[in-house]
Chain A
């Protein structure tokens, strides 16, 4: 009896904590929406929502790949550099036609991903270290290919960046489609199931005869491809290739979106819905601060605090 009496409140607190970790991100989004609707002038306009959605699209796409990497108990720090590489490749190959340029850009991202994945899966380098090396080299390569900012004047690219279907901008549609695709892959494919098993318990996955190395390489290839797609969308929207600054700190935003969205850093789970909400949450936070004339400096400090809080909250769970 005493045991039960003592156990109850702790269990309740546990339960609340777990609920908060799982659904806290949606609550956060709702609260921010509410605050903005009440206190931000002109918040409830189609135009504003479109802008926000277009801005969040690249972060979200990168975060999808990051969610896969984190689900496999890894991380991909090279995503920002892959975006830069992708924008350089587009400028370089635009002369051969827009489709060639887009395909080359995505292939470039996949190549970086394959390098990351091989280092992790075959040589056994820690994911942080492997992707750090590619982060340095990738940005350098992007700058070698395209030393400075270059305008991208191509009607197709322009329409990709600012066109819309039924009032929804293309980048948002693409991001939504990719989110659905990745969610489908995680839920319904052999690859997705194997990825989660590997992230949860590598020894068990190995003894069950899963193709651990192949899955890990594919994870990083997917992450590279998604980052490259984010890079080309950003290029289209800016109508310019800027390998110096494009994708800077993107790895941080993506990791934040994933972690805030309830995917544990310890692997074995991928929450795509949470990741989408996480990306939206950060975007809303930034937008709110800017709309209320708080300078970018505060946005960055706020984002730093949110990350630490999210990781701290996730830590409580992994200890159990």
Chain B
């Protein structure tokens, strides 16, 4: 139905898609999976007309096709259901469903009775009964997604692309969605399904294509592939293949003290985390493993006060920290290097110097006046210590390479003398040299007695860099690997486990009522 051959798309510095072949057949639910940066979203954007490919062909219904805008793709019959429902929340369900196609009477005015009837029928078709006159936003996210689906189907979509449709759904809503997906399949519609929840993929998909680093690493029927193998393909690790020592710059040897410097207890955030507990000792690097969407970043953000938890406690060196407040967490000595460096980390328009001094400004000021000589001293120290390559302290951070931006952020936090560093994908999107430097730095920091939480999709980095690895799945801790048990194989099988103590359903339901995974704290 929809296929691409030899698709290539580059962005400055990155080859997002490299000669990708992909085919979605009519009446087939095709899973598209891969870790962050694997090229999934780029592929979807090419398919839906957001991006134009640099090379390669897109064929739709056996004819070459090239869509200039999402609207063009949609008019041709390719509909996309996004994670964030792309409808108008303040308008009624029926108006959303039929926008631009409203039934009209002889005077050219909208015939509401017919409109409501048609909308109701379209939704009933999908097995959903809602009052179509109510504003869309009064519906749960699941029902909203059904409306988006109904709209897609009613514009005679022949291909439906779903981008992580279940990320904020209740388990029951997920089942309804699956019912609809199966129905679409029976109608001969091609469904492309993007998700990171393995249970879901096996529940609903027929075929799978795995992307890694912009290339297709596997494509074929899903039934031929077991979980472990699938995870291995995604993460680029073969089972039984022991990582060569020294792939990364980590030594993996730290002397941790016995008392934890940071202790997070039963952090829960609706739909995202259910009762995550972990602790970090001074001088220790704790890895946080799991697939995308398993709650790794959310855990870090909840600890750093950037994501207010519904329940749970965070203590630093025995003192309780007010949750949901970044300043409080920073005062307590918790520093977070966020995953989205560009949007949440650096302030691109300000200079290297100002970015480094930003968080520490109150400490570097007297009576509200910035003490320039102290700022210069600190900036100079860290620029040298972290080997930040910039034309000078006054260059704008937005102009630096990713690796140097990351170092600037590290410098910003180190200037605060933190007790705990939370590093969310610290080496993603930076070149090999800078990557090694950052890894070495993390090692040194731990040796200096800092507690480090390391989140990474890079298996080697996680395994070699961490003393312990806590594995998350669907927002809950499923396993903890310690000492010699920290191996790629153990990590792979932990990630690929079915269910787990807080499996998909409980994990999605969230709340303190969900089964807790209680770890022994040493």
Contacts and interface: CB of A to CB of B under 8 A. Distances in A.
Direct A–B contact present (CB less than 8 angstroms)? yes
A201 interface: yes
Nearest to B334: A209
A194 B355 CA distance: 10
Contacts of B343: 201, 203-204
Interface in B70-129: none
Contacts of A204: 343-347
Interface string A174-208: 00000000000000111101101100110111111
Given A190-B365, A197-B358, A200-B349, A207 B370 contact: no
Nearest to B345: A204
A31 B395 CA distance: 32
B432 interface: no
A209 B330 contact: yes
Contact of B359 (A188, A189, A201, A208): A208
Interface in A272-294: none
Contacts of A197: 347, 350, 354, 358
A196 B326 contact: no
Contacts of A206: 306, 326
B362 interface: yes
Given A190-B361, A201-B343, A207 B350 contact: no
Contacts of A194: 358, 361
Given A189-B370, A209-B330, A200 B347 contact: yes
B433 interface: no
A211 interface: yes
A194 B365 CA distance: 12
B327 A268 contact: no
Given A206-B326, A208-B358, A209-B326, A268 B349 contact: yes
B369 interface: yes
B287 interface: no
Nearest to A187: B370
Given A190-B362, A207-B326, A210-B358, A196 B369 contact: no
A204 B348 CA distance: 10
Name the prevailing secondary structure of the A interface residues.
helix
Nearest to B375: A193
B412 interface: yes
Contact of A207 (B338, B354, B357, B365): B338
B344 A207 contact: yes
Interface string B352-384: 001001110110010011101000000000000
B184 interface: no
Contacts of A210: 358-359
A204 B412 CA distance: 12
Given A188-B369, A189-B368, A194-B361, A208 B349 contact: no
Interface size class of A (residues with CB under 8 A): 20 to 34
Q: How large is the interface on B (under 10, 10 to 19, 20 to 34, 35 or more residues)?
A: 20 to 34
Interface in B308-345: 326-327, 329-331, 336, 338, 343-345
A320 to B, nearest CB: 11
Contacts of B357: 193
B327 A211 contact: yes
A269 interface: yes
Interface string B217-235: 0000000000000000000
Given A206-B326, A207-B336, A208-B412, A201 B358 contact: no
B7 to A, nearest CB: 22
B502 to A, nearest CB: 28
A189 B412 contact: no
Nearest to A189: B368
Contacts of B306: 206-207
Contacts of B372: 188
A209 B370 contact: no
Contact of B365 (A189, A203, A205, A209): A189
A11 to B, nearest CB: 14
A8 B345 CA distance: 32
A190 B344 contact: no
A269 B349 contact: yes
A209 B327 contact: yes
A200 B365 contact: no
Contacts of A191: 368
A210 B327 CA distance: 7
B441 to A, nearest CB: 20
Contacts of B354: 193, 196-197
B403 to A, nearest CB: 18
A202 to B, nearest CB: 10
Nearest to B306: A207
Contacts of A207: 304, 306, 326, 336, 338, 344-345
A143 B123 CA distance: 57
Contacts of B362: 190
A207 B346 CA distance: 10
A197 B346 CA distance: 9
A190 B349 CA distance: 17
A219 B351 CA distance: 22
Interface string A201-225: 1011111111100000000000000
Contact of B349 (A188, A196, A211): A196
Contacts of A196: 347, 349-350, 354
A205 B338 CA distance: 12
A205 B361 contact: no
A269 B338 CA distance: 24
B290 to A, nearest CB: 22
Contacts of B304: 207
A317 to B, nearest CB: 11
A257 to B, nearest CB: 21
Contacts of B349: 196, 200-201, 268-269
A203 B339 CA distance: 13
A267 B213 CA distance: 36
A203 B358 CA distance: 14
Closest 7 CB pairs of A and B: A209-B330, A200-B349, A268-B349, A209-B327, A190-B365, A208-B359, A203-B344
13 contacts: A188-B370, A189-B369, A189-B370, A190-B370, A193-B357, A201-B343, A204-B343, A204-B344, A204-B347, A207-B345, A209-B327, A209-B331, A268-B350
Given A193-B350, A209-B326, 9 more contacts: A189-B370, A190-B368, A193-B354, A193-B358, A193-B370, A204-B347, A207-B306, A207-B338, A211-B327
